[in-house]
Amino acid sequence: MLCAQGVAAPLMLSSLVLHLARANLHPGCLKVSDILSCSNIGLEEIPNQLPVTAATLDFNHNRLVRLEEGKFAGLPHLVTLRLAHNQLRTLSPGTFQNASTLHHLDLSSNLLYKVDNHYFQELVEMEELLLFNNHIVRVESHALIGLVNLRKAYLSHNRLTDFPFFSIQEHSHQFLVTLDLSSNRMPKLPLDDIAALPVSVQRGLFLHNNSLICECAMYGMFRQWEQKGYVSVKDYRKEYTCLLYGEPRASVQFLEHAKTWRFFENCTIKLPSLVEMEINVVKVDVGNSALLECQTSLKGPHLIYQWVSPRQEYIALPGNNNTMRMYANGSLEIIAVQMEDAGVYWCMVLDRQQSRNETREVNVTVTQQQHEDEHFNTGFTTLLGCVVSLVLVLMYLYLTPCRCWCRKQAPPATPSPANECSAQSSILTPTPPATTEGPGRKVSNNKHVVFLEPIKEAQNGKPREALTSEHPKLHILRSDADSVTSVFSDTTIVP
């Protein structure tokens, strides 16, 4: 009895705590499995008690002004936190204390005016950070250094005049593939720092809709990115503008219109510290496998390899969704190549011990298999041959000159095999019938036999009446039994 009470007591206590936690939630919140949604209910502060099992917290579209220290501590499964469309102006130290499991943080559409160094120090697992549509004028130099697993950062539609590009290095941000700084107020770009960025970051560095001043080095960098097919330039060509001579009214689309090229025609396009990389080209047919080699001068057993696909997908060991396979030496195999797999792949090699890294570019070209074209050519040739054969047959049937009934001649007085146009002699035989060339000469023995239904003879050797009804042609020769007999006889007729 005491044992049973000892077991029941903790259960009752946990049930009471869970009931109290549910009681403290705002009535407008909705909890479904591991998701707690409290969006658009007018909250001015985060509830004190949050479900321990929560993996996603949604507080979008509320009136939050501040976040208390340690508010998200004690949530071991928290992965996604949405705080967009609130009134947050700053984040106090320790806001995300003990929230190291957080992967996705949305602070967009708030009133933040800067990003301090202490904001995200604890978020070592952060992958996606949304800070767009704020009032940010400055990002501190060490604000993003602790985000070693960061893949995407969005800071567009703010008031930035510069950005600490030097704080993003390949050995510290090896997974970063998207950095959106578009629609800000940057007049000049630190080209040396940008050139030192990892290639994967340069491909996904969005700088359109800024207040850039037209200059040769800036123009050359974007032209080079355009030639390499970087998505950040290719998809936003019309939105890359610069100010001629610094005048706001003289804004030109320097990648779109040819007339603006005159301003840069005397420029010597040469970027400092920008090293040309070796480009490897791989051609493969659809459906075949392709092996991309990651060629590097770095040596040693401690190398780390990563790949970035043309669709901005990060690929590491052992591969990606059973479509791509990686090997220990850094090679990447595309198992069954499709047309959408074409593009530029980037291989990044990192040596943590010596703090060295290299980047290689592999251009994959996908073509259709040649035997498909051969099948098409063979089918087309066969069809053409059939059409030609059909035309020849029709020409033979309808355009061959006739020998007898087409000619308007007076019929002879006495029918004879020499001039008789019977079905047997003119239609059923491929050669004209034999004729006698003069009195006493025999008809040629070159016979062309046509197999007809055997003639039923009467007792006197003459054909029956039924034969003439079945064969109308013979009805004309009915009056002359000898002529009918001569058609089907092997004996020579002597006049």
The domain locations on the chain are 24-264, 279-370, 420-495
Alpha helices in 407-464 (DSSP H): none
The closest alpha carbon to 101, from 59, 140, 134, 57, belongs to 57
On the question of pLDDT at 119 being above 90, the answer is yes
Q: What is the pLDDT of residue 333?
A: 87
The closest alpha carbon to 463, from 477, 449, 451, 450, belongs to 477
User: For a pLDDT cut of 70, what percent of the chain falls above it?
Assistant: 67
Q: 385-395: per-residue pLDDT in tens?
A: 888 888 888 88
Q: 240-260: per-residue pLDDT in tens?
A: 999 877 666 677 888 876 555
Instruction: Give the span between the Cα atoms of 426 and 406, in whole angstroms.
Output: 12
Q: Which helix (H) or strand (E) holds 280?
A: strand 279-285
CATH of 279-370, one of 2.60.40.10, 1.10.10.10, 3.40.50.300, 3.30.70.270: 2.60.40.10
Q: How many other C-beta atoms can be found within 10 angstroms of the C-beta atom of residue 452?
A: 11
Say if residues 218 and 210 touch (Cβ distance below 8 Å): no
On the question of pLDDT at 471 being above 70, the answer is no
Sequential DSSP letters for 15-54: HHHHHHHHHHS-TT-EEETTEEE-TTS--SS--S---TT-
Q: 20-31: per-residue pLDDT in tens?
A: 344 467 788 999
On the question of pLDDT at 291 being above 70, the answer is yes
The answer, yes or no, to whether the previous bond of 318 is cis (omega within 30 of 0) is yes
Instruction: Give the span between the Cα atoms of 80 and 393, in whole angstroms.
Output: 77
The closest alpha carbon to 326, from 351, 352, 282, 293, belongs to 293
Q: What is the pLDDT of residue 229?
A: 87
Q: Among the listed ranges 42-46, 311-315, 324-328, 339-343, which one has the minimum average pLDDT value?
A: 311-315
On the question of pLDDT at 200 being above 60, the answer is yes
Say if residues 77 and 102 touch (Cβ distance below 8 Å): no
**Chain position carrying tokens 């507080």:** 59
The closest alpha carbon to 226, from 242, 247, 202, 209, belongs to 202
The closest alpha carbon to 211, from 252, 172, 264, 174, belongs to 252
On the question of pLDDT at 150 being above 50, the answer is yes
Instruction: State in Å, rounded, how far the first CA of the chain is from the last one.
Output: 142
Integer angstrom CA distances of residue 33 from 14, 21, 51, 73, 437: 18, 15, 10, 20, 111
On the question of pLDDT at 264 being above 70, the answer is yes
pLDDT band at 281 (very low <50, low <70, confident <90, very high): confident
Q: How many other C-beta atoms can be found within 10 angstroms of the C-beta atom of residue 148?
A: 15
Domain spanning 24-264: CATH 3.80.10.10: yes
Say if residues 309 and 343 touch (Cβ distance below 8 Å): yes
On the question of pLDDT at 484 being above 70, the answer is no
Please give the mean pLDDT across all residues of the chain.
Answer: 75
Q: Averaged over 59-65, what is the pLDDT? A: 96
Q: What is the pLDDT of residue 478?
A: 44
Instruction: Give the span between the Cα atoms of 263 and 427, in whole angstroms.
Output: 87
On the question of pLDDT at 402 being above 70, the answer is no
Say if residues 282 and 364 touch (Cβ distance below 8 Å): yes
Say if residues 71 and 47 touch (Cβ distance below 8 Å): no
Q: What is the pLDDT of residue 350?
A: 76
**Chain position carrying tokens 């928290």:** 78
